[in-house]
Structure formats: C-alpha cells, structure tokens
Structure 1
Amino acid sequence: MTSSFEALLPSTERALTHRIAVAQSEGRSPSFAAGLVREGTMAWFGSRTCVDGHAPDAGTQFRIGSITKVFTAVLVLRLRDEGLLGLDDPLEKHLKGTGVGEVTIAQLLGHTSGLAAETPSPWWERTPGTTRPELADVLGERPAVHPSGRLFHYSNPGYTLLGSLVEALRGVSWEEALRTEILEPLRLGRTTVSPVAPYAGGWAVHPWADVMMPEPSEDLGIMAPAGQLWSTVEDLCRFAAFLAEGDDRVLCRASVEEMRVPSAPPAAGDGEWGYGLGLQVWRSGGRTLIGHTGSLPGFVAGLWVSVEDGLAAVALANATSGPLTSAVAADLVRIVAEAEPRIPAPWRPLPEAEVDKELLALTGPWYWGTYAYGLRIGAGRSVTLEPLRGVGRRATFRALPEGGWIGLDGYYQGETLRVVRRPDGSVSHLDLGSFVFTREPYEQGDAVPGGVDEAGWRGL
C-alpha cells in the first residue's frame, strides 16, 4: 500500500469527516483519528481533537490493544506454512509444561480452547507484566473454564501461549519475530511495542462530567502478544491492505483467506459475529467485514476490511470508554461503498494459453439426480459448479496438479471433483465426493447409483 491519497468525491469526504466528528464529540474522546483504504491505497485520513491545533496526524501512535492478536496469529500461520507446526498439533508438542498442552494450536487461534478469558487478579491491563512473569502466573490454578473445542470463548491467556509458542520455535523473542517477519517487510515502521513520539496519551473520561484523568500505560510482559502494540492510522491501513490481499513476503493469499474462515459458531447473543484464526468476522449491513477490535485502558481501536468492496477502515481513539471505534470503522466502509461503489474490472476472455478444449467440453448443464447444475470455467483451470435454478450448493474449485479439482468454499470446501471416463475415453460423469453428476437426468446407461427404472420416464 502506498501512502499517496486516491481522491474521494468531496461529498464522500465530508460524510467521512462528519462521522468521525460525531464520534469524537458524542464519544467524548480527547482525540480521534481514522483512515480509509480503497483498492490497497490510503484514500482518506481525518482526525479530531479537543485541543486546538493539536489534532493527530496519520503517523501519531495510539495503543491498539487486541488488534495485536492478528499480528500474533500471522506469526503462527507463518510457522505452519514453513512446516514447523500443524494447526491440529497439541500445544504440548511444541511448548512443554504449560499444564494445558492438550489444546490445539487452531483452538488457541480461534478462541475455542476453553481457556479462561482473563488472567487471575489483579486486572492484567492496568498492572505491570512483572506481576505475572511466568505462564503459570497467566494461567492460574483454573486455566480452563470450558471443554476444549466445544464453543467460542475469547481468551487473552490463549494468545499469551501463542506468543510463547512463537518464541519457542523461532528461538527469538516475540517482539523480534514480529519486527523481522511482519513489520519490516510490510514497512510498518511506526508499529512498536513501546510508544515512540509522537503518540497520544491514554485518558479516562468521567462518565457523568466533562473531566478526565490519565490512564497508566503498562508493559504487559509475556502478555504482550495479546494486546501490547502501539500503531498509527497509516501503518494499520497498510496492514489492512495486507489482510485483504496477502503478501508472499509475509503470508500468502491462501493463508490470509484461511484466517477469515469462522472456526466456531458465535456465542449466544453474538448475532452476526464469528472468529477465524486470529480475525474477527462480522456480518454488518449486508457485507462481510474481517479484522479486529482492540482496547486497553485509555484507548479503543477498530480495523475492518471488506474484501468484496475493496475497502478497509481504521479508527483510533484515546479514551477508555470512548467512541465505539468498531462501529465507526464499519460505518466508514459503508459510507464509501454506498457513495462510490466499486467499479468492476472489464470482462476479458481467457488468455489463449489457458484455453483447454477438453475442459471446455465439460462446461454446461449437469444433473445430480434431477437437480440441474451448470459448470463454467475460470482462470487457472478453475471451475464453478452452481445450481441453474432454486437453492442449491454452489462452489468454486481449484485445479489440482494430479488432475481433478479441490473445493474452495461452501458445502464442497475441501471435497474433490473429478471426471470419470468410460473405457473408450469418453466422459461418463463427474464425481463430487461420491455424488454423481450426469449429462442427462437419470439417463439409461448412465452411472447412476441404484440404477434407473427400465421403463424410463412416464406420465401419470
């Protein structure tokens, strides 16, 4: 992502400015900063402040709280992609002696480990990390409050364990791994473990009076992977662009997309919320947003990406119970998506080198029983199978080197689609996870499981 602005319409810019002005005023935050990304480029920045002439700029640091967890998750996915761990591995395989080693790495990433939400007292966000120097101090005497793998239960200690896992497998500190593997490649030079001027101070605003007091800013120690980082609107906009597209220097597109897949149903009352592998998933206003929220004493933060719209937004404020930055960031995406909807790329035919006559012959209608489906081909020998009418199971499939295709989404995600041929080489049918798709519905002689009535089709 570049930092040069891709201009929005003046009316859109005014709507964005109005939204953050209302947020800062009604949320009673000393300062507020926000940015909008369109097609990978920062397209707008805005800020408000209670002190004339001292509004934060795009390079002013705020504390981002649990948005830190996304960075930690990326470090863990990198280890998986390098073959150093498996997501289904028990923690004990790589990090010994925690006492909760039976939980898997995927469960820790997706908050389905059953671990407690917080550490034992005192409140870890307002006390120094030296209060709990060891993992045993973070986990306490009763680390699990639910059976592992059964339900979503947000856990800050779980991400402390993941940070320690990174350190165990890399042989360096979590901070060093973060700097060399994510911050430097993505040019996030203003994202740091400790604040570096210029930065906003954290404040508590009195709930019933327009007065405030400073909040403590503690080094969280080994809890850092759960919420330590400071960052800026500009850096987080660049990070949001990475979460939309991936970057092979850090994490490939396929692995970033994997992070977005909900790992468990939302908890009761959470409605349209889900959680993937380090990313929150929110269905809001008819669009799917991926990203994360964050808070620590004195700060609240929100980062949301709408991949379909090519948009992302960041909102940062320096008040403990200040503006709802999560809702503001979502609103910024919505405002631009509605005022300046994404213009689709021109349709273009496939490159000549990708035109495969055998594959072309497979296009058109296929029948699963009497359900009509259509098969179309896309770039890179991919195919899409979708119902021609009514409700059905649609899926896109990626071509496999050894032949056939693997499902990428929907009911058939991970399932294999293959062509079955007759002895003479002609196509008999498609096999999709044992489901047979034929060219005609229940045609005599076709490979229909259970056979076809010899009398064929008939009237009443």
Structure 2
Amino acid sequence: MGRALEQSLLDKWLAQIANKRNVFSTVLCVEDQKQSLSLVSSGGEMQTGDRYFIASVTKLYVTAVILKLRAEQRLGLDDPISEYLSKEIIAGLHMMENRDYTEEITVKQLMSNTSGIPDYFSGDVFSELIAGHDQAWSLDKTLNAARRRKPKFIPGQQKKAQYSDTNYRLLGLIIENIKGDSIQSVFKEYIFDKLNLTQTYFYHNPEDTTPVPFYYKKKRLDLPQYMASIGAEGGIVSTANETMIFLRAFFNGELFPIGDLEELQREWNFLWAPGPFFYGTGISRQPLSPFGLRRGLIGHWGQSGAFAFHHPESGLYFTGTVNQAVGQSAAVQAMARIIRQYGREKKALRLHADVP
C-alpha cells in the first residue's frame, strides 16, 4: 500500500517545497469530502495558523456574495452594470471603434472576464509593484488607467476573455451600492460572521504588519499601500484553516444555492495570462496535465501564491499559499502529489476489501 497520507508525510513535503528556489514560506491544508482526512502543515518561515494575503482568491468570496444577492432578488447576472453604477463611473471604460460599449456590459460578463474592459494591473502597474514602488490604487485611479488601454474585443464576444482585475473592482462597487455599505461590512455579514471566521478580514490599514510577507523571486514585496487599496479585487487576509472553511461552504451550498455551482462552470474560456488556466463565471479551473484539460482543480489562484481549490474527482479540497508571485508551479506539484498519493491509498483499500 505504501506510505499513508499522514501528518509526517505532509510535513516532509512542505519542508521540501520551502527548500525550493524562491519559496521562503508555505502552508497547505488538505481535506477530503467526508473530512475523514484533515491535515495542515507549513514550511520555511511560516506557522500553520499564520495569516497571509489570499489576493485574487478574494474573487471567490465576491462570487459567493453576488450569488447570495441574486438569491435575495437584489440583482440578476444578466443585468447591465449601468443599473448599479453611475454614468460617471462607467463612461468610456470600453471604447472600441469610436463606440462606448460599457453600458451594455452585464454583471456576468464582469464575473467571467468576458466584458472586454482592459486590465489596469498588467504591464506597467505590475512592473512597478514588483520593483518595490508601493502606492495606493483608488477606484478612480484604477478606472482611469483602464480607460487609457484599448479593449481587445467587444463585450460577450464568443470565445473571447481577458483576465481583468478592473472587472472585480467594479463588482465590489456594485455590491456596495446594492447594500449601501462598505465592502468590509458586507463580507463580514455574508461570509465572515456567518462562518465564524475570526482570523479573516479585509486588509485596509497599511500599518498592519500581521500578514506573512510574499515575494517576487528573491525579492520581498512590501506593498501595504497597494494591498490596503484593492478591496474586492484581492484584499482579503486569512489563514489556511479559515480559507478551508470558506471553500467547503462555497462548494457545499452554505453561502448561496448549491444549484448555482453548475451555472458557474457551464462555459469555460482559456486564458494565457496570468495563467494558463480556464475561467468560468467567477471561478477558475486549473488542469493538472495537458491530457486533462477538461478536468483538474476548481477554485482560484492569488497573485501572492495563495490558492483555494476543490478536486472533484478525488473529493479533495486544498487551501494555502507559497507566498511567491511566481510560485504557482510549486503549489500545483504539491497538490498533484497529494492527489496521486490519496488515489493510491483508496485503490489499495478497495483491492484489500475485495480479497476473500
């Protein structure tokens, strides 16, 4: 049967990840469908209970809140965003061939990255941040930067998608406008308090040094001004255990009608950047091999190296981080290794049960 997937083995593997090039701290939590398996381990400069920036994993939380608002009949996914955002906010965000398409964009197109609204973050902004030039990015600054970029396709064009953090800034504002409250208060009501997440919060104070730092290659990135300004785009801080509580609730129908999960995965678009991976509606899919493009991990990455994924075939759930902006491959390898080990154990147990 080989060595069992147990705490000592996970500890060994996490220590190996932390010894990889440019991975200085890591944590990984893994559970199975029935919670008969529940392990968490860390490596390098990190403890299992440490809080870290989950970055774009925050987008899963946005998806959960949007679907809950729909269940409350507060919005529809096919509603144009102009129903919830002022003309001053959205004017000129999608200009193509001398036509402004912005008022035609729907909530769902923001969630699925099919709006065509340019991503303010890629290119110069990312380069400046990894060079250590920390600065706050207000909503106005973000939208003005997006306006200066040229869209690559009209909204909803078939098989066209572009990952755009700008989309999720707008979704955050839609949530605030519907609820008449700050994004922090809305998420506290809909998710943090509901799931009793006491270590999870929106990072809003640049003086807060609680989260574990993350890196770009060998360079530590200290970006408190930026991280405190991005809100629904990627501003949540959490732990591996509390992200696991959220992830299970997301997939088990505790936060929105469970039937909505199928809708999120109905249409997938392939993205090269910051991937490569597939994007559905407010959720992503990460294949584990070129031979399984229609399968793999379902959830979300964070640019900080954070991850929150479910693997439907094995029934496993994964949360954690490698705290490295270019460390996703190390996380994928670790999750794939655990899935293989778990599969071998289950197969051996079935064979053992069949022996008379």
TM-score normalized by the length of structure 2? 0.79
Amino acid at match of 2:112: G
1:321 to 326, 332, 338: 326
Letter of the aligned partner of 1:88 in structure 2?
A: D
- Map 1:33-182 → 2, pairs under 5 A: 33-39=27-33, 41=35, 43-50=38-45, 55-57=46-48, 59-97=49-87, 98-99=90-91, 100-119=102-121, 122-123=125-126, 127-129=134-136, 133=140, 136-137=143-144, 139-142=146-149, 144-150=151-157, 151-182=160-191
The within-5 A match list for 1:409-424 is none
Distance 1:282 1:270 in 2: 12
Deviation at 1:268, TM superposition (A): 6.7
Question: Post-superposition shift, 1:323?
Answer: 5.7
Compare relative contact order (CA 8 Å, sep 6+) and give the higher one, 1 or 2.
Answer: 2
Structure 1 residues 118 and 241 mapped into 2: Cα distance closer, same or farther (>3 Å)? same
Match of 1:252 among 254, 257, 264: 257
Shift in alpha-carbon separation, 1:225–1:110, aligned structure 2, 3 A: same
Question: What is the one-letter code of the residue matched to 1:181?
Answer: Y
C-alpha distance in structure 1 between counterparts of 2:144 and 2:26, whole Å: 35
Counting aligned pairs with the same residue, the percent is 22
1:182 to partner: Cα distance: 0.9
**Greater mean deviation of Cα atoms: 330-339 or 165-174:** 330-339
Change (3 A) 1:323 1:49: farther
Q: Distance in 2 between matches of 1:341 and 1:272?
A: 30
- After superposition, the Cα gap between the structure-2 partners of 1:214 and 1:128, relative to the gap in structure 1 and judged at 3 Å, is closer
Encode CA deviations 1:347-391: one digit per residue, 9 max, x unaligned: xxxxxxxxxxxxxxxxxxxxxxxxxxxxxxxxxxxxxxxxxxxxx
Match for 1:171: what amino acid? G
Q: How has the CA–CA distance of structure 1 residues 84 and 221 changed in structure 2, closer, same or farther, with 3 Å as cutoff?
A: same
- SS of 1:84's equivalent in the other structure is coil
Over the residues paired in the alignment, what is the CA RMSD in angstroms? 3.1
Q: Name the structure 2 match of 1:419.
A: none
Q: 1:137-181 CA distances to partner (integer Å, 9 max, x unpaired)?
A: 353334633211121111100010000000111111111111110
The TM-score normalised by the length of structure 1 is 0.62
The aligned counterpart of 1:240 is 247
Larger helix fraction of residues: 2
Q: Is the 8 A contact 1:23 1:328 kept in 2?
A: no
Per residue, is there more strand in 1 or in 2? 1
Q: Structure 2: which amino acid aligns with 1:189?
A: T
**Is the Cα contact below 8 Å between 2:80 and 2:104 reproduced in 1?**
yes
- In 1, the alpha carbon distance for the partners of 2:276 and 2:217 equals 30
Alpha-carbon offset, residue 117 of structure 1? 2.2
- Kindly indicate whether the alpha-carbon contact (under 8 Å) linking 1:302 and 1:325 is maintained by their aligned counterparts in 2: no
For the Cα contact (< 8 Å) 2:296–2:311, is it kept in 1?
Answer: yes
Q: Tell me, yes or no, if the aligned pair for 1:31 and 1:49 is still in contact at 8 Å.
A: yes
In the TM superposition, 1:160-239 aligns within 5 A as 160-194=169-203, 199-206=211-218, 212-220=219-227, 223-239=230-246
C-alpha contact (below 8 Å) 2:239/2:320 kept by paired residues: no
Are the equivalent residues in 1 in contact too, given 2:306–2:320 (CA < 8 A)? yes
CA gap 1:169/1:309 in 2 versus in 1, 3 angstroms: same
* 8 Å Cα contact 1:191-1:229 kept in structure 2: yes
Between Structure 1 and Structure 2, how many residues are aligned?
320
Larger Rg: 1
Which residue is 1:29 aligned to? Answer: 23
CA contact (8 A) 1:280 1:291 kept: yes
- Give CA deviations for 1:262-296 in whole Å, capped at 9, x if unaligned: 3x43147999832122110233355432111111x
Q: How far apart are the structure 2 equivalents of 1:70 and 1:140? A: 26
The amino acid that maps onto 1:289 is: L
Q: Distance in 2 between matches of 1:193 and 1:26?
A: 30
Select between 162-171 and 20-29 the one with higher mean Cα deviation.
20-29
CA separation in 2, counterparts of 1:237 and 1:218? 27
Distance 1:187 1:335 in 2: 33
d(CA) in 2 for partners of 1:271, 1:293: 9
Query: For the structure 1 residues 69 and 268, does the alpha-carbon distance in structure 2 shift closer, same or farther, using more than 3 Å as the test?
Result: closer
